Every structure is written in structure tokens, then in C-alpha cells.
Amino acid sequence: MIGMDKIREAAEEIGGIVHRTPVLTSMRLNELAGNEVYLKGEHLQKTGTFKIRGASNKVLKAVRGGASHVVAASSGNHGQAVAYIAGKSGIQATIVVPEDASPVKISAIEAYGGRVVRCGLTSAERIPEALRIAKESGGVFVPPYDDPDIIAGQGTTGMEIISQVPGCEAVFVPVGGGGLAAGIVCAIKQLNPDILVIGVEPEMADDTKRSLEAGTRVAIGPSGTIADGLRTSIPGELTFPILQKHLDLLITVSEKEIAEACTILFQASKQVVEPSGAVSVAGLLSGKSGIAGRKTVAVLSGGNVSPQGFSEILKA
């Protein structure tokens, strides 16, 4: 577990960079979920996702250590965050993305000044390529999730939830590589171990579910889930043991459930949330957790989706 001292240190480090994102409510969502629901709006965060928290914590430390170039592997959101904070710090950023990366996310990386390199379809392909580029260029590799500074940065989300939603009883959080879920579970279980932390993963990218069932990290092949930010092929070496020990429950949701969650969030709360960010609400609404009548938080982890892409989701 990442200690609260490290998470509080991260909060101090990134305090001048990130937003303290709002918590939103919706009477309609309460009715549909059968819970008192609070939405943690990380889709309103700088660069459009929670990723700026961990990226800023890691990159700012690297800059103080003399780094002039950072390299990341990302399906899009982490890359945007790294490119953003690198640009603000006056250093170069190279982002290795999958061949099928979202055009809107590629455009954002380039707009922040990042150089884009395409490689493969899975994290198992792009991470080694990013490590190779970092080694050859003398740059610092900024992992998407498997790093103590990244996890601590994401854990600041959990700190905010505790202070913003007094009496919170359960938190639903998206699971991809596990950085956000690990950070949140570390913060929440140390601040209030009675709060349930429930991970939600797409059925089509269920590497964490399979790994928890097997008791060890299990790799899967490329995924075509609409939740493109959660298309990891294997849980992280650091994040998986944290989730394995401290996550109360992990549930999976279908593509239909994810699309319906995006639609409900738009209709009931007027929020544009990307599929990866809406899986938490999909999990909550699915009823698979058995949670009812609780004061519940769903983390909306991102909002980076093109108008065309979002329109297609609403039609689904």
C-alpha cells in the first residue's frame, strides 16, 4: 500500500497544477441506482481526466532531478497529461500510442506539444517501445500506472472524496491498468477502512478480473471495448497486489451497459463523459455489486471523447 504520507506529499506537489474537481448530484440517477449518488467529476479535470494528477507528480519530480525529456506509453489520456505538464515545465515529451488510438486524443497530445509515436495495439507492445525510446534518448519514462509516484498522485482523488462527501459508504472506480483504483483504495482504506471500494472493468478488457480469479497477473489480447482508456492487456506489477489485497469487489460491465451509462449521465446530469469514465456509473446501475440505499460515489474518470464519437454512443 502507498502510505498517506506519500499521497499527502503528492497533493502538496500538484496542488498548484490540478483542479479540486467538483462533486455532482442527480435526483434521477439516485432513483435509477437506488442509492444516494455523488459523481466525482474528474472528467472536468485539466486535460480532461484524472491522469494529470499522477503525471504531474512524476514529471515535476523528474524536472527537479534535471530531466529535459520525458517519454510515456498511453492509449491517450495519460499521454495528454504528460505532454501538458512537460510543456508547462519547458521540457520535451514523446508519447507512444496504439495504432488505433482515438484521433481526438492524438490531436490533444500534439496540441500540448507532445511528439506522437504509434506502436501496436496493446500496452504490452507500447510500454517496451516507450522504454526503448527513453533509454536511447536519455529521457525519463513516465509509466501510465505502475509507479509509486503515479499511484500516489491518483490517490489524491480519494483524499478529495473523503473531504467532499462526508459519510460516504461506497466508491465505484474504473479499472484499467489499476493506477486510479490503487491510488483511491490506498487513500480511502487508510482514512476510513469502512468505506467499500468497488472496481468496475469492461467485460471486453477483463484482465484484472481474470487475474483476481487466478490469484496472479493474467495477460489478455487486444480489446475493442468502447472504453478505450481501459484497454490494458495485463494489470500492473505494483497496482495488482494493492487491488488484490484491498479492493472490496470487482465487477465487469458490458458494452451496452457502458453506452447506457454515458447516455444516462448526459440526460440526467448534462455531463459529457467518455466511456472509460462512465464505467463506474455502469457498474453502479448494473446492480451487480449488491449495494443499495448507500451514500455512494462514482468516479467519472474522464471526458475526452469527440462529438462524433459521443453522438454514436448516444445512438447505441
pLDDT category, 206, cuts 50, 70, 90? very high
2-16: average pLDDT: 97
Note whether 183 and 155 are within 8 A (CB).
Answer: yes
Does pLDDT of 60 surpass 90?
yes
Does pLDDT of 170 surpass 90?
yes
Percent of the chain whose predicted confidence (pLDDT) is above 70: 100
274-282: average pLDDT: 97
Which residue is catalytic, options 6, 40, 51, 105?
A: 51
The closest of 73, 196, 192 to 144, measured between CA atoms, is 73
Contacts 24+ apart (CB under 8 A), 259-265: 259/226, 259/313, 259/316, 260/285, 261/285, 262/310, 262/313, 262/314, 263/313, 263/314, 263/316, 264/28, 264/29, 264/32, 265/29, 265/39, 265/300
- State the pLDDT at residue 92: 97
Does pLDDT of 48 surpass 90?
yes
CB count within 10 Å of CB 267 equals: 13
Tell me the C-alpha distance between 279 and 252, whole Å.
9
Does pLDDT of 102 surpass 90?
no
This model's pTM is above 0.85: yes
Is 254 catalytic? The answer is: no
Does pLDDT of 301 surpass 80?
yes
pLDDT category, 111, cuts 50, 70, 90? very high
Amino acid found at 97: V
Percent of the chain whose predicted confidence (pLDDT) is above 90: 89
Tell me the C-alpha distance between 250 and 210, whole Å.
10
- State the pLDDT at residue 223: 87
φ, ψ (nearest 5 deg) of residue 117 = -125, 130
pLDDT digits (tens, 9 = 90+) for 215-236: 999 999 888 899 988 988 899 9
Does pLDDT of 316 surpass 80?
no
pLDDT digits (tens, 9 = 90+) for 207-219: 999 999 999 999 9
Helix axis angle, 255-269 to 307-315, nearest 10°: 110
Does pLDDT of 29 surpass 90?
yes
Average pLDDT, the chain: 96
Amino acid found at 221: G
11-37: average pLDDT: 97
Is 276 catalytic? The answer is: no
pLDDT category, 76, cuts 50, 70, 90? confident
